[in-house]
Amino acid sequence: MFLFWSVQTPALAKMALKMVFPSIFFLFSAAESSGISRKMLYLNLYGQSNILLSWPILSAGIFVLVSVVLSLFLVLDHLVVYYEPEEQKFLIGIILMVPVYAIESFLSLLNSKAAFICEIMRDCYEAFALYCFERYLIACLGGEERTIKLMENQVQTSSSMPLLELAYEDRVIRHPFPLNCCMRKWYLGPDFYQAVKIGIVQYMILKTICALLAIILQLFGVYGEGKFEWTCGYPYLAVVLNFSQTWALYCLIQFYSVTKDKLDHIKPLAKFLVFKSIVFLTWWQGIIVAFLFSTGAFRGHLAQELKTRIQDYIICIEV
């Protein structure tokens, strides 16, 4: 996530780092003076039972502090020069994904009872950030009407990068196998634009619906987060969200493959790859961690201390 941030304003990153390091030094000094580095303390949070504060919590807090400060500096930088609101409002929505992920993951570490709600909120914002990224690209192209006209003027393209090579000819999108066996062709213009738009919006809608279902199932005690059992609702919702997210990312890739030449002035490739890895890899990371933990593969000291919160700890480090 920091890679996406650093792509925007390298000069601002240097200035922000100068502000962050004193904060980290102060945190280390406070930790050393209170004996946190050598002893385990207990923190009473929200009137709940005492929560063990050890080096995983401290290290996660340092990474979260850095990511939040850097993200807020970048948001402030955009607000100071808010000259392109149609582009910057969606870009700010994407940038805020970093502090949202960081803070909610850290809160989940501090209070395991709040972890479920924090994860639901984090996942919902992920869907919103994906929508913001697509709208940001459209804004950079000049809006919906101009984007559709640009698509209608496209004739043929080819890419030297196999990862992003999705050929179209005579203004017709050719789906890869096996999608070409069960899907109609997409024609560049309003038809293609609506297909991509629906493909991305459906992920937002399904993500919200699945979040509500997860809350209901949790209230009835049959959600079973991280448990791959037929009697739990978690694996079924995971399958639905997996297909929904994969389809949304496929539509985003198709949209990028058609418009990448017109978006060359904002260097979209790095942003696209980083954002795609954030959304896709974070989701699969959670699934893999839950599966490994359910099979008893995690037996180390850190895994036993964090238990099901290990995914939150990893996200705190990654952001």
How do strand 186-187 and strand 172-173 relate by DSSP bridges? antiparallel
- The DSSP H or E segment spanning 123 is helix 115-140
- Which residue has better confidence, 50 or 154? 154
Residue 27 region, left (φ>0) first, then alpha (ψ -120 to 50), else beta? alpha
pLDDT the model gives residue 64: 93
pLDDT at 37 over 70: no
pLDDT at 52 over 60: no
Place of tokens 């922000």: 16
Neighbours of 166 (CB within 10 A): 19
- Which residue has better confidence, 251 or 269? 251
- Which residue has better confidence, 167 or 283? 283
196 Cβ contact partners less than 8 Å away, ≥ 6 residues apart: 134, 251, 252, 254, 255
Confidence band for 254, pLDDT divided at 50, 70 and 90: confident
- CA angle 11-12-15, nearest 5°? 95
pLDDT the model gives residue 245: 85
pLDDT the model gives residue 252: 85
